[in-house]
Chains A and B, each alone.
Chain A
Amino acid sequence: MQKIIEVSNLVKKFKEVTAVNKISFDVQKGEIFAFLGPNGAGKTTTIKMLTTLLHPTSGEMKINGFSPSSQQDEVRHSFGIVFQDPSLDDELTAYENMEFHGVFYNIDKKTRRKRIEDLLKFVELWDRKDNQVKTFSGGMKRRLEIARGLLHHPKILFLDEPTLGLDPQTRNHMWQYVTELAKKEGMTVFLTTHYLEEAEKVADRIAIIDHGEIVSMGTSKELKKKTKSKSLEEAFLKITGHKIREETASSSEFFKRRFGGRR
């Protein structure tokens, strides 16, 4: 098996707070890898570092064989991402958002048009393609973001809590798309979610992160066995404890409010 994501001793400090503390893990090509953890555990910070949005304080990363710190362009071509919060332009239409992405990733016009049509049909938004995104429901926006993230044939798809706030129907549908595509295109999926039954269902392997450190890693079966639990949720709670975490710590808002200035 070929490693497509390699991380070793990755650290990210924001002033005195250590958000990610010496984590190491690998993801195999074609694998669906779930990154689970309570709020503020460091999931999003890790994704931001892997996707070139944040510079790590120290440690090594390789995405598709390239370094996110020094080979940003190659890395950026290798992945697609669906962020935790929406990242569409509401004033543009669905088609324009896709078109925009296609131009950004330098996909030639003919391939772009064809692929946009295929993907919009795939996520069942083709008949709404000329509507402005601001008229879309939350679920439709998510689907559009997924379609957009796939437009440039990424080798890795990052999904940061992609099903947050979606109804069970849409969630089900979405995972169906994603797993189907992963299989069809040999795509690697790196996801975070708070819905543990989802992770249990779709993920080949799971890492549990807490207080910026990876506390456990393995298949869902292994994690359950290790903690003698019936469900992944039970295993998760046994590993990370029952204490409620500071809700805002996962978002950048927390750092903004607390420490001000740029990150």
Chain B
Amino acid sequence: MNSVIYIMWLRQLKRYWRSKARMIGTLGQPILFLVALGFGLGAVFQQAGQGSYVEFLAPGIVAMSILFTAMFNGIEVIWDRQFGFLKETLVAPVLRIKIMIGRTLGGASVAFLQGVLVLIISLFLGFHITNLINIPIALIFMFLIALLFTALGTAIASLLKDMNAFPLIINFIIMPLFFLSGALFPVNDVPNFLKIIIRLNPLSYGVDGVRGALTTSNFGLGLDFLVMGVGIIAVSLIGSSLFSRIEI
């Protein structure tokens, strides 16, 4: 019966593959950030004695692109509700949790692929991977970010029926998550209150995991992994309970 999970996963990938516009469109923003911030603030960053900004920034932008794609995956639940496909899955004799798992894995894979694309592009914009052996670890962290925030997006979408409200709510959540995660700046030299906020933000650990694997870590990869793991389990549990309560 795991074929149900597999086919839900496959569906997400097919839909992603077939909408090339979406694939290319979601690459625009990360590239803009890399170019504008990477080159724009690069000189200032270097003068402050922090080294190359692109080297610092790239893992953060990779995490950002995964975060955005993953959270917006949730909208597919609302589309499916609007265009009726959700009904087809809800009257089928399968456990809702399997539908939820397949959907989340599929969405996470899409977000992960998007992150890989951004990582590759960043190599052309001046990013160097110093620890080649650690690439698999970086990929694992990228997938964890994808998983955590796809689950979160899906959970939020399960609560909503309104297609227009979803992007507003998601933007309201992802902006602080992104800006207060250490994706854009080193977290060591910020005021204490900001440090606390960053410490409470799950994305910080994802960003640190990716950056730690490719360059240098701040929190330690063990803690990063632990926080991401616990986050994924917690959000998935909440999400599947919300998803299983959907009535049409």
Binding site for B on A (CB under 8 A): 48, 51-55, 72-74, 76-77, 79, 81, 83, 85-92, 96, 99-101, 103-106, 132, 148, 252, 256, 262-263
Q: Which residues of the partner chain A approach B248 to less than 8 Å between Cβ atoms?
A: 48, 53-54, 252
From known contacts A54-B247, A76-B93, infer whether A85 and B84 are also in contact, taking CB-CB under 8 Å.
yes
Cβ–Cβ contact B91 & A53, under 8 A: yes
Cβ–Cβ contact A73 & B85, under 8 A: no
Q: Which residues of the partner chain A approach B87 to less than 8 Å between Cβ atoms?
A: 53, 83, 87
In the assembled complex, B4 has its CB within 8 A of some CB on chain A: yes
From B11-19, B186-194, B214-222, give the one contacting chain A.
Answer: B11-19
- Give chain B nearest CB distance to A20 CB in angstroms: 15
Q: How far is the CA of A224 from the CA of B7 in the complex (A)?
A: 50
Within 8 A of A (CB), among B56-105: 80, 83-94
**Nearest residue, chain B, Cβ from A263:** B247
| 20 further interface pairs, Cβ-Cβ under 8 Å (given A53-B87, A73-B93, A87-B88) | A53-B90, A74-B93, A76-B92, A79-B91, A83-B84, A86-B84, A87-B83, A88-B84, A88-B88, A89-B80, A92-B14, A100-B11, A101-B92, A103-B3, A103-B4, A104-B7, A104-B92, A104-B93, A106-B93, A252-B248
Q: Which residues of the partner chain A approach B168 to less than 8 Å between Cβ atoms?
A: none
Chain B contact-residue range equals: 20 to 34
Within 8 A of A (CB), among B1-46: 1, 3-4, 7, 11, 14-15, 18-19
In the assembled complex, B128 has its CB within 8 A of some CB on chain A: no
Cβ–Cβ contact B85 & A104, under 8 A: no
Q: Which residues of the partner chain B approach A262 to less than 8 Å between Cβ atoms?
A: 161, 245-247
- Give chain B nearest CB distance to A222 CB in angstroms: 33
Cβ–Cβ contact B94 & A104, under 8 A: yes
B11 interface neighbour in A74, A76, A89, A90, Cβ under 8 Å? A89
Q: How far is the CA of A53 from the CA of B245 in the complex (A)?
A: 10
- Give chain A nearest CB distance to B76 CB in angstroms: 10
Cβ–Cβ contact A87 & B92, under 8 A: no
Q: How far is the CA of A252 from the CA of B3 in the complex (A)?
A: 32
From known contacts A76-B92, A81-B91, A100-B11, infer whether A88 and B247 are also in contact, taking CB-CB under 8 Å.
no
Q: How far is the CA of A48 from the CA of B247 in the complex (A)?
A: 10
Q: How far is the CA of A86 from the CA of B88 in the complex (A)?
A: 10
Q: Which residues of the partner chain A approach B19 to less than 8 Å between Cβ atoms?
A: 91
Q: How far is the CA of A77 from the CA of B92 in the complex (A)?
A: 7
**Nearest residue, chain B, Cβ from A87:** B84
Q: Which residues of the partner chain A approach B7 to less than 8 Å between Cβ atoms?
A: 99-100, 103-104
Q: How far is the CA of A87 from the CA of B82 in the complex (A)?
A: 9
**Nearest residue, chain B, Cβ from A75:** B93
Q: How far is the CA of A92 from the CA of B88 in the complex (A)?
A: 14
**Nearest residue, chain A, Cβ from B94:** A104
- Give chain A nearest CB distance to B209 CB in angstroms: 33
**Nearest residue, chain A, Cβ from B86:** A87
From known contacts A83-B84, A86-B84, infer whether A52 and B91 are also in contact, taking CB-CB under 8 Å.
yes
Q: How far is the CA of A104 from the CA of B92 in the complex (A)?
A: 6
Q: Which residues of the partner chain A approach B247 to less than 8 Å between Cβ atoms?
A: 53-55, 262-263
- Give chain B nearest CB distance to A236 CB in angstroms: 28
Cβ–Cβ contact A90 & B91, under 8 A: no
Q: How far is the CA of A96 from the CA of B247 in the complex (A)?
A: 25
Q: Which residues of the partner chain B approach A105 to less than 8 Å between Cβ atoms?
A: 92-93
Q: Which of B83, B92, B245, B246 has the most CB of A within 10 A?
A: B92
From known contacts A86-B83, A103-B3, infer whether A96 and B91 are also in contact, taking CB-CB under 8 Å.
no
- Give chain B nearest CB distance to A156 CB in angstroms: 12
Contact bitstring B233-248, A, C-beta under 8 A = 1, else 0: 0000000000001111
Would you give 16 A-B contacts (Cβ < 8 Å), ordered by A?
A53-B90, A54-B247, A73-B93, A76-B93, A85-B84, A89-B15, A89-B83, A89-B85, A91-B14, A92-B11, A99-B7, A103-B3, A104-B4, A104-B94, A105-B92, A106-B93
